Amino acid sequence: MKKCCKDSEGWQGKFHGYGYRMTVAREVILDLLSNTDKHMSAEDIYMKIHETHPNIGLTTVYRTLEVLSDMALVFKLDIGDGRARYELAESPKKPNHHHHLVCTGCRKIVDYSDFIDQEVKLLQDTEKGLSKKYNFKITNHLIQFYGLCGACSARA
Amino acid sequence: MKKCCKDSEGWQGKFHGYGYRMTVAREVILDLLSNTDKHMSAEDIYMKIHETHPNIGLTTVYRTLEVLSDMALVFKLDIGDGRARYELAESPKKPNHHHHLVCTGCRKIVDYSDFIDQEVKLLQDTEKGLSKKYNFKITNHLIQFYGLCGACSARA
DNA sequence: CTATTAATGGAAATGATTGTCATTAATAAC
DNA sequence: GTTATTAATGACAATCATTTCCATTAATAG
């Protein structure tokens, strides 16, 4: 009996741990996000996987992204236009911690990891202080800089 | 001839500087945001001002908030549910720089300004570095921590 | 005070996301 | 491997925040 998914990354156990099943759609979407450095919207993802898996619907893409966010495999990102973007979360196997620099003109997103070390250090301290003072269980943070990229700046 | 608006804060000139007119709706909304520490959505604002100005429509609220954001009098805030919130931007007259701690359970927002000094220092350096390296004209930044507040944590 | 034109309001349109429900497929039990 | 169980799916409809349209009103210039 053929297994549903090849599970090359060892994700199956993780799905089971959360009480989820491993399915083709979930694997395809994880694969796609694993192999891009873009910040794709649900529709971007739908269009891309539609090329090879025309049977996967947009609704499923949305639901899958929600599941993956819930499992913290994927990070949902909001850059201020009305549509969410998704990127693979960092993991021990694939450390890629970065923050975002967003052009408010063309919505270009630059991932930067310069300065990250000091930022992370400060964030950890802040997180600890905030947790205690406000009794929050902090799960993650968002840092974004907004501005105009060179092209948009020139165009303005 | 009666002037449209009392302009107690000296906003009129600022509107004119941007080529906008000073109107009742704009003044009322600015007043409201000046006197609250809440993070109100467009609809919250509409409902509130509707009590005293039932002739101001929701569409105008949206348009006004866009104008005010454009003038940097108001800051548009996104906390991850599908609706934007607005708060008065900090100004020399009313310095209130803070960042946000957002409960992903109940969407409660805590404004904190602890640790702000170190954060601001680091952010300025980062901003300068990023500006140069990526040729961005950075206009603002967003820092948010996400987690569960005490109540939601207990409930979970 | 009148002319000009931005601003407005209400209704309709848009567009991302979510809900519904009958069908399919992944896993568990045998 | 076969069957039973139940989560996951897909197509469509529904929702809901935000925008667009357009005829009317009101802020400012002259």
Q: Tell me, what CATH number does A9's domain have? A: 1.10.10.10
Q: How would you class A91 by CB atoms within 10 Å of its CB: exposed for 0-12, middle for 13-18, buried for 19 or more?
A: exposed
Of the residues A90, A115, A140, the one at which a domain ends? A90
Measured between alpha carbons, how far is residue B153 from residues A69, A106, B145, B147 in Å? 19, 39, 15, 9
Give Rg (Cα) of chain A: 18
Could you tell me the pLDDT band of residue A4, with boundaries at 50, 70 and 90? low
How far apart are the two ends of chain A, measured CA to CA in Å? 61
Q: Say yes or no: A42 and A2 in one domain.
A: yes
Q: Say yes or no: B79 and B4 in one domain.
A: yes
- d(CA B146, CA B105) in angstroms, rounded, equals 10
* Nearest CB to A126 within list B119, B130, B140: B119
Asked if A147 contacts A104 with a C-beta cutoff of 8 angstroms, the reply is yes
DSSP single-letter state for residue A90: P
Of the residues B66, B90, B114, the one at which a domain ends? B90
Q: Say yes or no: A5 and A78 in one domain.
A: yes
Q: What percent of chain B has pLDDT over 90?
A: 77
Asked if B151 contacts B104 with a C-beta cutoff of 8 angstroms, the reply is no
So what's the pLDDT on residue A45? 98
How many independent structural domains does chain A possess? 2
Q: Say yes or no: B74 and B105 in one domain.
A: no
Helix axes A24-34, A42-52, angle to 10 degrees: 110
So what's the pLDDT on residue A96? 86
Residue B156: closest C-alpha in chain A: A137
Q: Tell me, what CATH number does A119's domain have? A: 3.30.1490.190
Could you tell me the pLDDT band of residue B7, with boundaries at 50, 70 and 90? low
Beta-sheet pairing, B84-88 with B74-78:
antiparallel
Q: Say yes or no: B71 and B1 in one domain.
A: yes
Give Rg (Cα) of chain B: 18
Asked if A42 contacts A58 with a C-beta cutoff of 8 angstroms, the reply is yes
Could you tell me the pLDDT band of residue A2, with boundaries at 50, 70 and 90? very low
- Tell whether the model's pLDDT for residue A137 goes beyond 90: yes
Mean pLDDT of chain A: 92
In chain B, the DSSP E strands lie at 40-41, 74-78, 84-88, 99-103, 109-112, 137-148
Residue contact A115–B126, C-beta within 8 A: yes
Place of tokens 């409902």: B47
Q: Say yes or no: B115 and B64 in one domain.
A: no
Highest averaged pLDDT of the listed ranges A34-48, A86-100, B79-93: A34-48
So what's the pLDDT on residue B2? 45
In this complex, the nucleotide whose C1' atom is nearest to the CA atom of residue B82 is: D17
Question: Residue A62: CA atoms inside 13 Å, Cβ hemisphere, count?
Answer: 6
- In A, what residues contact B, Cβ < 8 A? 76, 78, 80, 101, 103-104, 110, 112, 114-115, 118-119, 122, 125-127, 129-131, 133-150, 153
| Three-state DSSP state, A69 | helix
Q: Say yes or no: A3 and A75 in one domain.
A: yes
Expressed as residue numbers, the domain containing A81 is 1-90
Q: Say yes or no: B76 and B138 in one domain.
A: no
- The partner residues of B75 in beta bridges, in order of sequence, read B87
How big is chain B, counted in residues? Answer: 156
Q: Say yes or no: A123 and A47 in one domain.
A: no
CA A62 to C1' C22, in angstroms, rounded, equals 20
Q: Say yes or no: B137 and B74 in one domain.
A: no
- Tell whether the model's pLDDT for residue A1 goes beyond 80: no
So what's the pLDDT on residue A6? 61
So what's the pLDDT on residue B1? 43
- d(CA A128, CA B102) in angstroms, rounded, equals 15
Q: Say yes or no: A8 and A42 in one domain.
A: yes
Query: pLDDT digits over A68-125, tens only?
Result: 999 999 999 999 889 999 999 988 888 888 999 999 999 999 999 988 888 889 999 9
- Tell whether the model's pLDDT for residue A155 goes beyond 90: no
Q: Say yes or no: B101 and B150 in one domain.
A: yes
Of the residues B35, B69, B90, the one at which a domain ends? B90
